[in-house]
Amino acid sequence: MPFDPTDAQDVYKDAGKNVLFTTLTINKSNPDEDREKVAELVSREQAILRSMNIRYPEEHLKVSFGFANSAWDYLFADYKKPQELEDFQPVKGPKYTSPATPADLFIHIRANSEAVVYEVASQIRNYYRDFTTVQDETKGFRYFEGRAIIGFVDGTENPEVQKASAYAIIGDEDPDFENGSYAFAQKYIHNMDAWNALKTEDQEKAIGRKKYSDLELEDDEKLENAHNVASQDNDDGIEHKIVRMNVPFSNPSEGTTGTYFIGYARHWSVTKRMLENMFGQSDRLLDFSDPVTGNMFFIPSLTTLDQIVEDKLPAK
């Protein structure tokens, strides 16, 4: 099958206004039975998505559904596996560590209306609640002007929309899983009191951009470990990109505020190098941001989802 963005799940479009991330582990009682339940979940999820988009087209509902390596090995041991799918291992730097936390399944829902997000999540839950355990559920939102909760415009380093699919969607390098994607999800808790205590100029040096205009600073104005320096992947002298759809989340009365990082990539190796650079160089933003979850997922194409439903994945 040729490279076809229309066969991909929603991994290269806008981040949405109201967002829900859910990670699940499978209780793993019987792989054959659980595979049948996952096939029904996939089928129902796609039907729910189609129905809601017909009923509420103005809400721009988008859903991505994926599998961690642990789930793929358990459910589909007799079938081929995406080339770069692996267990996420903690990334250890001199000061901070990117943790690996339990997850088998990943659901990313976003829409203009929170009511639509709720309804979709509630309906999908009917098909996973009897064989999974929820590990994390995080509700995100669009902040002013699409800014991160720390006040800077987010997603500036993303590729242009017209080119985004080429960075987010697997091509003919893995023909059995073409039009899929690799997602990395990580939840950060920010020390907002410490961050807000910084002068604006010091925040800008830490991020590498102007806070209000979003213009990039000159290299000699940035810290050596500024976020937009440390989080890049310039392997072989080429800047490699992923598609980020980060959103803020918060329980304000508890003083808990953070960012849910979600990056979709054609190559997991690109995201992995970004993490290694970020933690290896002790990205200045990590002084104010504590990573509390972390896992990577394969996001199948619509064709592969159909193969899962029909039990027709390519055999080893």
226-246 tens-digit pLDDT: 999 999 998 888 889 999 999
154: annotated active-site residue = yes
What stretches of 112-217 show up as alpha helix (H) in DSSP? 114-125, 161-168, 192-197, 200-207
Q: What is the pLDDT of residue 204?
A: 96
Q: What is the pLDDT of residue 21?
A: 98
> What does the alpha-carbon distance between residue 233 and residue 272 come to, in Å, rounded to a whole number?
9
Q: Which domains does the chain have, with CATH numbers?
A: 5-191+243-266+283-310 (3.30.70.1030)
Average pLDDT for the chain: 95
- Does residue 237 or residue 210 have the better pLDDT? 210
Cβ atoms of 241 and 157 within 8 Å: the answer is yes
Q: What is the pLDDT of residue 158?
A: 84
Residue type, 166: A
Q: What is the pLDDT of residue 1?
A: 57
Q: Which of 34, 154, 233, 283 is catalytic?
A: 154
Distance of CA 184 to the CA centre of its chain: 5
